[in-house]
């Protein structure tokens, strides 16, 4: 069961504000479909992608053991690109360089919001990490991304976006070591 914590309230407010701004500056409609704060691992967060090819953008903050990830189904890239840039990137057999750049930029925006919510709550100052792009199933993503030592608090946000067609979803999450997360409750 998800914990209703200060971290939950901060994430909810911060992500809603970000999506309102994103909606004003992009072609799509952006909606926060849900926020959950639970105890979990990187494997827990990636479980929905077990056996599914997934595109992910991630950041690992070196100064603070904090990992932020945005995951997307490659089948949704055409809808995501139209909502974000106003132009559809037609789907091919593989993710193109243009799609990778678009997803990395969108991930940079959304992950930074999620990470900064945590950093601001901790009253810390840090330089942002560079976003990195990876594709694969859950096991491949976990192997590439790595994770902070657990037990961890898993902060998840699901973003739904539309741009004249069916809704697509982005899955954002951050992993924060439990002792640090507990200080924010």
Nearest by Cα to 181 from 122, 127, 124: 122
Read off the pTM: 0.90
Asked whether the predicted pLDDT for residue 171 surpasses 90, the reply is yes
Report if residue 119 sits inside a domain. yes
Q: Does residue 124 lie within any of the structural domains?
A: yes
Establish if 122 belongs to a structural domain.
Answer: yes
CATH number at residue 124: 3.40.1550.10
| Domain tally, the chain | 1
Q: Considering the domain boundaries, does residue 48 fall inside one?
A: yes
Q: Which secondary-structure segment (H or E) carries 147?
A: none
Q: What is the overall mean pLDDT for the chain? A: 87
Residue 15 lies in a domain: yes
On whether residue 45 sits in a domain, the answer given is yes
Predicted pLDDT at 149: 60
Residue 84 lies in a domain: yes
Q: Are 171 and 71 a contacting pair, CB within 8 Å? A: yes
User: Quick check: is 55 in a domain?
Assistant: yes
Please work out, in degrees rounded to the nearest 5, the angle formed at the alpha carbon of residue 174 by the alpha carbons of 76 and 80. Answer: 15
pLDDT digit string, tens, across residues 67-124 = 889 999 888 988 999 999 998 887 777 889 999 999 999 999 999 999 999 889 888 8
Taking the C-alpha atoms of residue 30 and residue 19, their distance in angstroms, rounded to an integer, is 6
Domain that holds residue 118: 6-164
Look at residue 180 and tell me whether its pLDDT is greater than 50.
Answer: yes
Write out pLDDT tens, residues 122-165: 888 887 788 899 998 888 888 888 876 677 899 999 999 998 88
| Digit-coded pLDDT (tens) for 30-52 | 999 999 999 988 888 888 888 88
Q: What pLDDT score does 1 carry?
A: 40
20 versus 130: the higher-pLDDT residue is: 20
Q: Is 91 helix (H, G, I), strand (E, B) or coil?
A: coil
């Amino acid at each position: 069961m998800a914990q209703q914590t200060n971290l939950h309230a901060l994430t909810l407010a911060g992500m809603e504000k970000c999506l309102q701004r994103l909606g004003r500056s992009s072609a799509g409609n952006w909606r926060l479909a849900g926020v959950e704060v639970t105890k979990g691992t990187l494997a827990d967060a990636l479980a929905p992608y077990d056996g599914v090819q997934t595109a992910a953008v991630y950041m690992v903050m070196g100064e603070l053991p904090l990992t932020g990830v945005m995951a997307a189904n490659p089948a949704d890239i055409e809808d995501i690109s139209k909502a974000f840039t106003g132009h559809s990137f037609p789907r091919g057999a593989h993710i193109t360089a243009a799609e990778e750049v678009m997803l990395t930029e969108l991930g940079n925006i959304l992950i930074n919001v999620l990470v900064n919510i945590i950093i601001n709550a901790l009253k810390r100052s840090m330089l942002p990490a560079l976003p990195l792009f990876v594709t694969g199933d859950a096991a491949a993503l976990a192997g590439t991304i790595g994770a902070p030592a657990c037990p961890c608090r898993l902060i998840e946000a699901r973003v739904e976006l539309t741009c004249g067609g069916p809704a697509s979803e982005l899955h954002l999450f951050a992993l924060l070591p439990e002792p640090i997360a507990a200080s924010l409750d």
